[in-house]
Structure formats: C-alpha cells, structure tokens
Structure 1
Amino acid sequence: MERPYILHLFTPGAQMSPFDINMAADAGYQVLAPYCGVTLDGVAALTQDTIFSRSPKGLARTGIFIGGRDALLAADMLERARRALVPPFAVSLMADPSGAYTTAAAMVACVESVLQQHHGSGLAGRRVLVLGGTGPVGRIAAVIAARCGADVALSSHGGQATAASAASATGQRFGVTLGAVSGAGPADLQASIADAEVLLACAAAGVQVVGAADLPAARRLRVVADLNAVPPEGVAGVGVMDDGRPIEGSPAVGIGALAIGNVKYQTQQQLLRLMHEAEKPQVLDFTQAFERARVLRGGSVA
C-alpha cells in the first residue's frame, strides 16, 4: 500500500490556523496533524518523532509546517527543526506564522514590480516606512525590503521606544539594519511620512493609519501598499483591488489588499506543493517565499 502524504503542523498557539490547514489539503497532503502549544524546546523531539517513524524513502511524503503568530519565534522553531534532522532521515520544513512570511513576500514583490513599472528601478536606495511595523507581517516585510537595499524604518502607534525595540530585535535576528520612528499621533505620523518613498501599511484590519489630511505631508511618496481589506482603507485612497492605480491627492500609486492577497495565496500554495512534490527535503521561509512572489509578479529569482 502506498504511504499517505502527512503534514505535521506545529504552533505555539492554542490552535492551528484553519487557513493553513485548508491550504495544505489543497496542496495534496492527505493526513494533517496539528500540534498546539508547541514550545521552542519541544520542537526537536517532535521533529525526531516524525523522521524516525518512516524510512528515508517514506519521508519524502512527510513534512513539517510551523505556524503561530510570532515571526521571530517561527524562525527559531524552523532552525531547531532543521538542526534536529539526521540525514538521511530528513523531511521538508516550512514556516509561515499567521501567513506573515508569504504575505510580506507578496507585499514587497508587488511594490518592487510597481516601482519598476512606473519608475524603472526597484527598492535599492529607497526610503521605506512600515506602518504597523511591530507586527509579524510588518517585521518581515521590513527585513525583505532591507535585503533589497532599501533604507527601512518601522513605525508604531505605541511610540518611538516600541518601534525601536522591534527594529532592534528583528534586525539582529535576521542580520539587517532597521530604523524606528513614532507613529503615536498625527504630528509624528506626518513627520515620519514626509521623506518616505514607499509606505507599507501593515496595521490591524479596519484601522486607517493614513488619512486624506495626512497625504499632502508625503511629498516624495511613490508607492503605497495597504494590507487592510476591511473598511475604512488603511491608507486613504487605496482600494482593495488597486494595483498601481494613482492615489488622489498624492504623487503615489497604490496597491490594495486583494492584489497583494492574490500573490500571497499563490505563493503559499506553490511552496506547499513544492514540499509535497519534492524528492529532496526543502527548508522554506520568507526567503523562498519572496523568490516565488517575485516570479509571480514577472520578476526574477534573487
């Protein structure tokens, strides 16, 4: 009898995301086994239980997916799982906490594509401000943009200290330099967006972080990407379906949540299918997600 495709899903949270379970099933996994409340120290034992229960040949039909809501913890859990493999006993591994890795990858790939289309160059040297920058998507989008050569700063409505703490921890973990600014009130926000060429709006759903009255302060703005699909829009004038559409009252063009979401969905599905179909074990995080998202937007793999 042919062995089934099994995906073990680890999360430090109370439940695994139904979104990820549906995506894994659609990618071809037949048995989906969620493990909740997984600690960093518990990852190695679970990984080795996974790999030693099948022959090396059978492990080609086995994978581990790491979820949760913490972008840095997920990276650490992925590394613990990778180090627990004992070749030839090895399985494919993927991390995508709260969809943050694939969403951030899609967001930055869309911005890069629109910059190339409208201005003939990408993110290198651009001033990028991440609104809602202390959350999982904001942190990873900042890291990807920084790796593309952008000058990136995180903004937080909690103020400068909150943003600086997130920027320091994230930058140290992933080997990039991130700045920090306060987004605690209208004056701080308008001051922070004055020199920004790219805005990545990663705030909570239904929260407008940049209103129409704020936009005139952003004189150098070129592209705005907004993840908010719940009214009102996160950045005034950016519709959910926009993909390079001019923003009224601004020199910039906008990219909306559903345009980004389409690329995110395809990226996550392709990575899960890669795990499912690969003959050799894969280790997948936001780096591979960004490579895929770039190709989906018509670019090249970094």
Structure 2
Amino acid sequence: MERPYILHMFTPGPRMSPFDINMAADAGYQVIVPYTDCDADSVASLTQDTIFSRSPKGLLRTGIFIGGRDALEAADLLKRAKASMFKPFQVSLMADPSGAYTTAAAMVACVEAALRKHHKAELKGQRVVIFGGTGPVGRIAGVIAAQAGAQVALSSRSSINAAEEAARKTGERFGVELKGLSGTDGTAMRDSIANADVLLACAAAGVQVVSGETLASAKQLKVVADVNAVPPQGIAGVDAMDNAKPLAGTSAVGIGALAIGNVKYQTQQRMLVQMHDAEAPVVLSFAEAFATARAFIAEKAA
C-alpha cells in the first residue's frame, strides 16, 4: 500500500490557522495534524517522533510546517526542528508564521518588480521605510529588503524605543542592519519619509498610517505598497486592487493588498507543493519565499 502524504503542523499558539490547513490540503497532503502550544523543546521531541516512525522512503511523504504569530520565534523553531534530524532520517520543513514570511516576500518582490519596470532601479541602495515595522510582516519585509541591499528603517506608532528595539533584535537575529524610526505623530511621520524611495505599510487592518497630507512631504518616492485590505487605506490613495498604479500627487506607483495577496497565495501554494513533491528533504523559510515570489512575478511578466 502506498504511504499517505502527512503534514505535521506545529504552532506556539492555541490554534493552527485554518488558512494554512486549507492550503496544505490543496497542495496534496492527505493527513494534516495540528499541534498547539509548542515550544522549542516540544518541537524537537515532535520532530524526532516524526522522523523515527517511517522509513527514509516514507519520510519523503512527510513534512513539518511551523506557524505561530512571532516571526523570530518561528525562525528559531525551524532551526530547532532542523537540528533535531540527521541523515537518513529527515523530512521537509517549512515556516510561515501567520503568513508573515510569504506576505513579506510577496510585498518586497512586487516592489522590486515595480522599481525595475517604472523607475529602472533595483532594491539595492533604495531608502525603505516600513510602517508597522515592529510586526511580523514588517520585520521580515525589512530583512528581505536589507538582504537585497536596501537601507531599511522600521517605524512604530507607539514609540521610537519600540522601533529601535525591533530593529536591533531583528537585525541581530538575521545578520542585517535595520534602523528604528518614530511614527508617533505627524511631524515624525513627515520627517521619516522626507527622503524615502519606498514606503511599505504593514500596520494593522483598518488603520491609515499615512495620510495624503503626510504623503505629500515625500518628494522622491518611487514605490508605495500596502497590505491593508480593510478600509480605510493604510496609505492614502492606494487601492487594494492597485498593481503599480500611478499614485496621484507623487512620482510613485502604488501596490495594493489584493495585488500583493495574489502573489502571497501563489508563493505559499508553490512552496507547499515543492515540499510535497520534493525528491529530497527541503527547508523553506522567507529567503525561499522571496525566490518563489520573484519567480512567479517573472512568469507573469513573460
């Protein structure tokens, strides 16, 4: 009898995302089992239970998905799961906490494509300001952009201390340089975007972080992207459906939540299928998500 495809889904939280469960089923996994309240030690133990229960051939039909809500914790759990395995007892691993890795990857890949098409520019050297920069999507978008050579600042509406702490911890964890900026009031916002080339809005749904008046102070903007699909717009003038549409009153183009969301969906689906179909174990994190998002956008443009 042919062994079924099994996906074990670990989360530090009290429940696994139904979105991720649906995506896993659509990718071809036949048995999907969520495990909640997982810490590093339990992930190590569960990983070893996973690898020792099947032959190496059966392990090719076995995967582990790591969820949760904390982008840094998910990276640590992925690292712990990988360290708990050894040849030939290995399975494929993937992390995507609250969709943060695939959403951030899709957002930055869309921005990169818009920079190339509309401004003949690359991410390298661009000044990127991220609103909602202390959240999971903002942090990982910052890391991806910094790894591509951009100068990245994380902005927080709560305090400059929160922004600087998030920038320091995230930068140290992933080996990149990030800066913290204050977004506590209108003056701070205008100062932070005055010289920005790219704005990324990763704040909570239904919250406008950049008004039209504030946006007018950014004189050299090239691309603006917003993952908020719930009114009001996270950045004034950027509609959820916009896909590199000229942004009124600026020289920038705007990318909305649904345009980014389509790339995010395709990225996560392709990564789950890659894990399902792999002929050798793979480890998939935000770097692989960015490569997958880039590839999807390139295919659409061809």
Q: Under a length normalisation based on structure 2, what TM-score does the superposition of the two structures give?
A: 0.98
| CA drift at 1:158 | 1.0
Look up the match of 1:189.
189
Question: Matched residue of 1:106: which SS?
Answer: helix
Distance in 2 between residues matched to 1:138 and 1:79, nearest whole Å? 21
Look up the match of 1:137.
137
* 1:139-174 C-alpha deviation (Å, 9 max, x unpaired): 000000001100000000011100000000000000
Letter in structure 2 aligned against 1:47: T
Counterpart check, 1:243 vs 2:240: no
* 1:38-97 C-alpha deviation (Å, 9 max, x unpaired): 011211110000000000110000000000000000000000000001210100000000
Question: Matched residue of 1:124: which SS?
Answer: coil
| CA drift at 1:247 | 1.0
Distance in 2 between residues matched to 1:225 and 1:52, nearest whole Å? 45
Distance in 1 between residues matched to 2:275 and 2:83, nearest whole Å? 18
Look up the match of 2:42.
42
Alignment map for 1:56-205 (pairs within 5 Å) = 56-205=56-205
Question: Matched residue of 2:94: which SS?
Answer: strand
* 1:82-137 C-alpha deviation (Å, 9 max, x unpaired): 00012101000000000000000000000000000011121100000000000000
Look up the match of 1:279.
279
Distance in 1 between residues matched to 2:36 and 2:242, nearest whole Å? 37
* 1:223-250 C-alpha deviation (Å, 9 max, x unpaired): 0000000001100000111111111122
Look up the match of 1:258.
258
Distance in 2 between residues matched to 1:52 and 1:157, nearest whole Å? 47
* 1:170-195 C-alpha deviation (Å, 9 max, x unpaired): 00000000011000111111110111
Distance in 2 between residues matched to 1:224 and 1:84, nearest whole Å? 41
| CA drift at 1:251 | 1.8
| CA drift at 1:19 | 0.3
Look up the match of 1:288.
288
Distance in 1 between residues matched to 2:55 and 2:146, nearest whole Å? 41
Letter in structure 2 aligned against 1:121: A
Distance in 1 between residues matched to 2:117 and 2:265, nearest whole Å? 23
Distance in 2 between residues matched to 1:187 and 1:264, nearest whole Å? 33
Distance in 1 between residues matched to 2:160 and 2:41, nearest whole Å? 33
Question: Matched residue of 2:79: which SS?
Answer: helix
Distance in 2 between residues matched to 1:295 and 1:38, nearest whole Å? 33
Look up the match of 2:231.
231
Letter in structure 1 aligned against 2:97: P
May I ask how many residue pairs the two structures share in their alignment? 299
Distance in 2 between residues matched to 1:285 and 1:21, nearest whole Å? 18
Look up the match of 1:7.
7
Question: Matched residue of 2:180: which SS?
Answer: strand
Distance in 1 between residues matched to 2:291 and 2:142, nearest whole Å? 16
Look up the match of 1:17.
17
Question: Matched residue of 1:287: which SS?
Answer: helix
Distance in 2 between residues matched to 1:223 and 1:126, nearest whole Å? 10
Runs of 4+ in 1 over 3 A off after TM superposition: none
| CA drift at 1:296 | 1.1
Distance in 2 between residues matched to 1:261 and 1:203, nearest whole Å? 15
Letter in structure 1 aligned against 2:265: Y
* Structure 1 segments unaligned to the other structure (5+ residues): none
* Structure 2 segments unaligned to the other structure (5+ residues): none
Distance in 1 between residues matched to 2:244 and 2:292, nearest whole Å? 20
Question: Matched residue of 2:99: which SS?
Answer: helix
Distance in 2 between residues matched to 1:202 and 1:96, nearest whole Å? 16
Distance in 2 between residues matched to 1:111 and 1:86, nearest whole Å? 38
